[in-house]
Structure 1
Amino acid sequence: MGPLLTVLLAAFAPSLVQSAAPERIPQIHSITFSGSGCPSEPKWSGGFDDLQISFGEFGARLPSDRSTVNCQVHIQGTGGSPGWQVALKETWVTGHVWLQPGTKLEYLTTSFFSQDAARTNTQRGEKKNDGKGSVNEDVVLYTDLSKGQVWSQCFGGDGYTGIFNVNFRGVLSGDGGRASFEAQKQQWRLDWRRC
């Protein structure tokens, strides 16, 4: 029974390590925003691992020159436990869509760290109107980023995370149709692992 238990523990060890969190979570040292969807600084609350962003001006319209909008958060953390890495696991964006028949909203979430900006993880989702009537409803847009995760540098003695970037983009499209999308709030969940 002993050897079997050892094998089972070894098999589950990676997932257990990844789902755990360091004793000291990094604290937000700096946070800034950029993009057409956040021309003024959005309000935010929470900490590095439970950040909540409240958008004030994230709105896309079709037809218009604002059929595509985005907001990117640039966040730096310090004070985390040395010997850990962090990656974005999943996000939720709450908002409202209005879609005439034949139109759709595509939403994309991209995460990367500035020190290795060529390595990105982008996941997509969409909401279509294939029916005959208009869709006019509140939505929660969920994105799973657990596949292809991009990990931070290994935290050193100062617990510095590097510059963590998360970009959310909404894209409206459809031949001759009209549509609108407003994002109100974004939340996320992180993964942790030892390094």
Structure 2
Amino acid sequence: MGILSHLTVLLAVALPSLAAPTPDAAEASGPSVQPRITSITYSGNGCLRDPRHSGGLNDATFTYDNFCMALPGGNQTLNCEVHLQATGVGSGWQFALSRNQVKGFVSLGPGTQLTHFTTVYFSQNAGNTGTLRGSIENNGGSTIHQDVTLVSTAGNNKVWSQCTGSDGYTGILNVNFRGALSGDSKAYFEANTENWDIEWRRC
């Protein structure tokens, strides 16, 4: 139906202050004690009403309330940024967002496109930022209407947290999802849920 999708990963600069992982770090499955989320806040014009959160840090899911974009119209681009703090994992751990998955619905007229971005950083070193980018285009002659799952994977270019100390504090994780519609005819996108996958390593 004339749909072309692609995913481009933009590399994040490695943190020079982080200790190099030990030889068995790649095999670490994560801390035996699950982290406890202590704070979640939101910002952005895509979450004027706070999303509903479920799950823990390792499998967080956010259900949106009215994250809807339309072309033409005043909401051709929207974003929602999640600010999350957690603690309790013990010392000597780092974590990173390895995958972000957004489920929703898209309607694209001929010649229109949905572009989506996921930007990840920790407040303790906001200059170390990773951005995942993908898009869906309608290059055909008729409008498409379909449910979509937008998957962004960091691969080897993850942004890692600080190394936890004795208090197990992970720092402030910030994840910003943004969508943008463009083109010459009508288009619509609604995000319903966002889900994270987390990876751990020793430090």
TM (normalized to structure 2)? 0.86
Once the two structures are superposed, the pairs formed by residues 23-172 of structure 1 within 5 Å of their partners are 23-172=32-181
Asked if 2 retains the 8 angstrom alpha-carbon contact of 1:90 and 1:143, the reply is yes
Asked if 1 retains the 8 angstrom alpha-carbon contact of 2:97 and 2:199, the reply is yes
What CA distance in whole angstroms lies between the structure 2 residues aligned with 1:23 and 1:58? 36
Secondary structure of 2:201's counterpart equals strand
Gaps of 5+ in 1: 1-11
Once the two structures are superposed, the pairs formed by residues 180-195 of structure 1 within 5 Å of their partners are 180-195=188-203
Asked if 2 retains the 8 angstrom alpha-carbon contact of 1:102 and 1:177, the reply is yes
What CA distance in whole angstroms lies between the structure 2 residues aligned with 1:42 and 1:156? 31
What CA distance in whole angstroms lies between the structure 1 residues aligned with 2:25 and 2:104? 36
Secondary structure of 2:148's counterpart equals strand
Secondary structure of 1:166's counterpart equals strand
Count, aligned residues: 181
What CA distance in whole angstroms lies between the structure 2 residues aligned with 1:15 and 1:86? 12
What RMSD, in angstroms, separates the aligned Cα atoms of the two structures? Answer: 1.1
Asked if 1 retains the 8 angstrom alpha-carbon contact of 2:57 and 2:198, the reply is no
- How much identity, in percent, do the aligned residues show? 46
2:13 corresponds to which residue?
none
Q: Which has the larger radius of gyration?
A: 1
Bigger share in helix:
1
Bigger share in strand:
2
Secondary structure of 1:57's counterpart equals strand
The amino acid that maps onto 1:134 is T
Secondary structure of 1:56's counterpart equals strand
